[in-house]
């Protein structure tokens, strides 16, 4: 799946329509803007916290990408059949629901992407099959099944479950909706990342209104979808440019190692307690963005991520080591005393 190529390639250029996710997601009651908080950090300093722990009742930033991508792919199939574009309000009409009921979305997930795809399929009347590695907790499977998804456990790692999902989709008419990109598979993950742009836009609007911008942005990464999308938007339209630091688990620094090598690198390592970030192969779209965007990389240990989650809980922000990884990176990076850092808390506590 991971092609050894130079990834500065036009086929991976990310050119999102940032208005489309706003129009799509804001048309549904399930959408609300996630809060931007200011919490105490160290020695009286404060940090901006974008709190995704309750996003769209799913409890993860992934909701903005998966739900949006499901809608767009249904709309494209409708257009191919009828030659007419769907508007956001059309998806709940009986004719579109009936049409969507014949579409099944397939993906592999370390948890939250699968929840977003399952929720999107449920909202719009489609079906979903989610492949999980054996390391994903049963609580995730139960949540997926509550959205009507079929859950299939396959393989000991996220990458192995991905490969199974890919092979299954090749033998069926179902729609593969992966959140990573590789040679020959680009468009669906670009839609997911386009959905993530709404997070950056919510932030930009807040910072512009208050004229108070962050000096540093710490964003965690698995395959790199959120890091790539957020970085693209910051570099494209934020009036004041911060330093951007991409945080990865020590056990899975695929973006860091790829940046060092100027080619995609699949890493090896033990399982991490940052399960949603424990991805050994990067997204080529994300690599393409990050390579052109003047970012830094930093890895954090499982212990550092756990400690960061505990510190956040003291400030009434309840998350997991994966969700706290950006904050762990901030603590480890130790910016200047006058810095105004921003972290993204990507998920809530998993029940």
CA distances from 117 to 147, 216, 313 (A): 10, 31, 28
pLDDT at residue number 137: 83
Is position 338 within any domain? yes
The dihedral over CA atoms of 249, 255, 261, 264, expressed in degrees to the nearest 10, equals: 120
| Residue 338 shares a structural domain with residue 312 | yes
Same domain? 163 vs 43 = no
* Gap between the Cα atoms of 341 and 70, Å rounded: 33
pLDDT at 59 over 70: yes
The DSSP secondary structure of 253-271, one letter per residue, reads: -HHHHHHHHTS--------
- 125-144 residue pLDDT tens: 999 999 998 888 888 899 99
Tell whether 350 is covered by a domain: no
The reply to whether 47 and 195 lie within a common domain is: yes
């996630």: which residue's tokens?
34
Confidence at residue 140, expressed as pLDDT on a 0 to 100 scale: 84
Q: Average pLDDT, stretch 308-321?
A: 95
pLDDT for 351 beyond 80? no
Chain segment 63-91, per-residue pLDDT in tens: 999 999 999 999 999 999 999 999 998 99
> Domain boundary at 162, 183, 204, which?
183
Pick from 183, 200, 222: which residue ends a domain?
A: 183
Number of domain units in the chain: 2
Q: Is the pLDDT of residue 247 over 70?
A: yes
Q: What is the pLDDT of residues 39-54, one digit of tens each?
A: 987 767 899 999 999 9
Same domain, 124 and 22: no
The answer to which of 6-10, 12-16, 291-295 has the lowest mean pLDDT is 6-10
Q: Is the pLDDT of residue 295 over 70?
A: yes
> Which pLDDT score is estimated for 40?
84
Does 3 have pLDDT greater than 70? no
The 46-51 sheet, strands edge to edge: 36-40, 46-51, 341-345, 216-220, 243-249, 295-300
Question: How many Cβ atoms sit within 10 Å of the Cβ of residue 113?
Answer: 27
Final residue before a domain boundary, out of 183, 205, 220: 183
Residues 6+ away with beta carbon under 8 Å from 191: 65, 68, 69, 72, 73
Q: Rounded CA gap, 141 and 57, in Å? A: 16
pLDDT of residue 109: 87
Work out the angle between the directed axes of helices 187-210 and 284-291 (0-180°, nearest 10): 40
Torsion, CA 184, CA 23, CA 202, CA 149, rounded to 10? -60
Strand segments, DSSP code E, in the chain are 36-40, 46-51, 104-109, 127-132, 150-153, 175-176, 216-220, 243-249, 295-300, 341-345
Answer whether residue 351 is part of any domain.
Answer: no
pLDDT at res. 158: 80
- Across 295-313, average pLDDT: 97
Task: Specify whether 239 is located in the same domain as 122.
Answer: no
In a domain? residue 5: no
Q: Does residue 27 have a pLDDT over 90?
A: no
Q: Flag whether 270 is in a domain.
A: yes
Higher model confidence: residue 287 or residue 42? 287
The DSSP result for 194-247, as a single string, is: HHHHHHHHHHHHHHHHHT---SEEEEE-SSSHHHHHHHHHHHHH-SSPPEEEEE
* Best CA proximity match to 254, nearest among 157, 134, 131, 185: 157
Same domain as 217, residue 178:
no
Tokens read off for 164:
């199974």
- Strand partners of residue 338: none
- Is residue 135 located within the same domain as residue 248? no
pLDDT band with cut points at 50, 70 and 90 for residue 11: low
Inform me whether the pLDDT recorded for 5 exceeds 50.
no
Q: Are residues 129 and 204 both part of a single domain?
A: no
Q: What is the CATH number of the domain that holds 166?
A: 3.40.50.1100
Q: Look at residue 2 in the predicted model and tell me its pLDDT.
A: 45
Residue 4 confidence (pLDDT) = 43
Residue 4 lies in a domain: no
Task: Give the mean model confidence (pLDDT) for residues 99-106.
Answer: 98
Tell me what pLDDT residue 13 has: 85
What separation in angstroms does the CA of 61 have from each of 53, 81, 138, 199, 267? Answer: 8, 32, 21, 8, 25
168 lies in the same domain as 221: no
Q: What is the pLDDT of residue 157?
A: 84
Structural contact between residues 291 and 226, judged by C-beta atoms closer than 8 angstroms: no
Mean pLDDT of the chain: 92
Residue 172 lies in a domain: yes
Q: pLDDT of 155-183, one tens digit each? A: 888 889 999 999 999 999 999 999 888 88
Q: Is there a domain that residue 2 lies in?
A: no
In this structure, the answer to whether residues 109 and 176 fall within a common structural domain is: yes
* Residue written as token pair 């130079």: 6
Q: Which domain holds residue 150?
A: 64-183
pLDDT attached to residue 304: 98
Same domain, 169 and 212: no
Q: Which residues, 6+ apart, have CB-to-CB distance to 33 below 8 Å? A: 202
Q: Are residues 16 and 72 in the same domain?
A: no
pLDDT at 117 over 50: yes
């Amino acid at each position: 799946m991971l092609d050894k190529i130079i990834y500065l390639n036009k086929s991976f250029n990310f050119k999102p329509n940032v208005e489309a996710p706003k129009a799509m997601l804001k048309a549904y009651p399930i959408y609300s803007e996630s809060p931007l908080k200011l919490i105490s950090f160290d020695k009286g300093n404060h940090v901006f916290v974008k709190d995704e722990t309750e996003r769209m009742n799913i409890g993860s930033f992934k909701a903005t990408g998966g739900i949006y991508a499901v809608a767009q792919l249904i709309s494209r199939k409708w257009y191919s059949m009828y030659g007419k574009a769907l508007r956001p309000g059309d998806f709940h009409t009986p004719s579109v629901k009936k049409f969507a009921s014949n579409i099944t979305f397939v993906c592999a997930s370390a948890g939250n992407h699968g929840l977003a795809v399952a929720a999107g399929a449920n909202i719009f009347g489609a079906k979903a099959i989610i492949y999980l590695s054996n390391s994903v907790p049963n609580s995730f499977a139960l949540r997926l099944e509550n959205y009507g998804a079929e859950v299939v456990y396959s393989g000991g790692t996220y990458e192995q479950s991905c490969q199974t999902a890919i092979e299954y989709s090749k033998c069926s008419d179902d729609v593969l909706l992966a959140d990573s990109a590789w040679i020959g598979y680009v468009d669906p993950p670009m839609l997911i990342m386009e959905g993530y742009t709404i997070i950056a836009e919510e932030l930009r609007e807040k910072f512009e209104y208050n004229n108070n911008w962050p000096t540093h942005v710490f964003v965690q990464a698995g395959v790199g979808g959120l890091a790539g999308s957020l970085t693209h938007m910051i570099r494209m339209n934020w009036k004041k440019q911060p330093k951007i630091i991409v945080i990865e688990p020590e056990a899975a620094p695929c973006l860091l190692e790829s940046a060092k090598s100027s080619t995609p690198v699949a890493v090896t390592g033990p399982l991490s307690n940052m399960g949603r970030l424990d991805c050994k192969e990067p997204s080529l779209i994300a690599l393409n963005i990050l390579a052109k965007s003047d970012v830094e990389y930093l890895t954090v240990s499982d212990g550092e991520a756990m400690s960061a989650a505990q510190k956040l809980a003291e400030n009434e922000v309840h998350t997991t080591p994966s969700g706290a990884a950006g904050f762990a990176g901030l603590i480890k990076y130790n910016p200047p005393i006058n810095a105004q850092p921003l972290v993204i808390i990507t998920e809530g506590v998993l029940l």
